[in-house]
């Protein structure tokens, strides 16, 4: 089924959030994955808490604060690597199938965009590093509304900006909580369950569950 627009979450969906730590795995040691998991979990937790408090800080600030916490929580990791890890986060690897899938969807006539918690500067750097700037029509950052997902105002940026009804948008995310928020908003949602996580938020189910983005081209 063809949709007028395909909108993608960025971190974890298009870009591998664990690539920054993996790039310096030899220097971090055996607790690298633990460090990366805590970094990601705290980054998201801070976004939710700040939205609930009405105390916005951009995603780069939260990313740095989350890394500070992770390095304290995992003392075996050298805190002196902080600058290198943050630099690597600006150039995260995209998942292998991403360029081909986006090009195929673009060739079908659909509009393509990112809708992300990331700051505009973070997203611009990631998109250019992955050479996705030629296929994307727009990049929507929550910085415009100063609230993070799953606040409805975030998803509304797409429908208002592109003058579309929600059900004309296919929204893809690897984050099940993001899929729940987008489903409630009215998007057709596709959960990219890369990590084979169990189902949750059953009252806000996705229209489709895929292990990667490749299924979108095969008819998703």
Catalytic sites, residue numbers: 9
Q: For the chain, where are the alpha helices, taking DSSP H only?
A: 19-23, 25-28, 32-53, 59-73, 82-89, 98-107, 120-129, 152-162, 176-185, 214-217
d(CA 147, CA 52) in angstroms, rounded, equals: 9
CB atoms within 10 A of CB 26: 8
CA distances from 156 to 9, 56, 63, 168 (A): 14, 18, 24, 13
Identify the sign of the CA torsion 66, 72, 74, 80: positive
């Amino acid at each position: 089924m063809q949709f007028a627009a395909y909108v993608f979450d960025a971190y974890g969906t298009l870009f591998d959030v664990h690539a920054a730590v993996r790039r310096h795995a030899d220097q971090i040691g055996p607790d690298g994955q633990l460090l990366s998991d805590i970094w990601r979990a705290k980054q998201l937790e801070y976004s939710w808490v700040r939205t609930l408090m009405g105390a916005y800080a951009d995603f780069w600030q939260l990313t740095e604060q989350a890394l500070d916490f992770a390095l304290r929580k995992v003392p075996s990791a050298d805190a002196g690597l902080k600058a290198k890890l943050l630099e690597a986060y600006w150039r995260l690897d995209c998942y292998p199938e991403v360029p081909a899938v986006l090009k195929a969807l673009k060739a079908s006539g659909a509009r393509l965009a990112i809708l992300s918690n990331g700051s505009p500067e973070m997203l611009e750097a990631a998109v250019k590093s992955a050479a996705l700037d030629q296929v994307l029509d727009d990049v929507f950052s929550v910085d415009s509304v100063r609230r993070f997902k799953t606040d409805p105002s975030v998803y509304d940026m797409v429908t208002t900006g592109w003058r579309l009804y929600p059900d004309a948008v296919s929204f893809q995310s690897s984050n099940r909580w993001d899929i729940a928020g987008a489903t409630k908003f009215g998007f057709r949602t596709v959960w990219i369950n890369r990590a084979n996580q169990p189902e949750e938020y059953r009252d806000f189910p996705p229209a489709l569950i895929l292990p990667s983005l490749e299924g979108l081209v095969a008819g998703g």
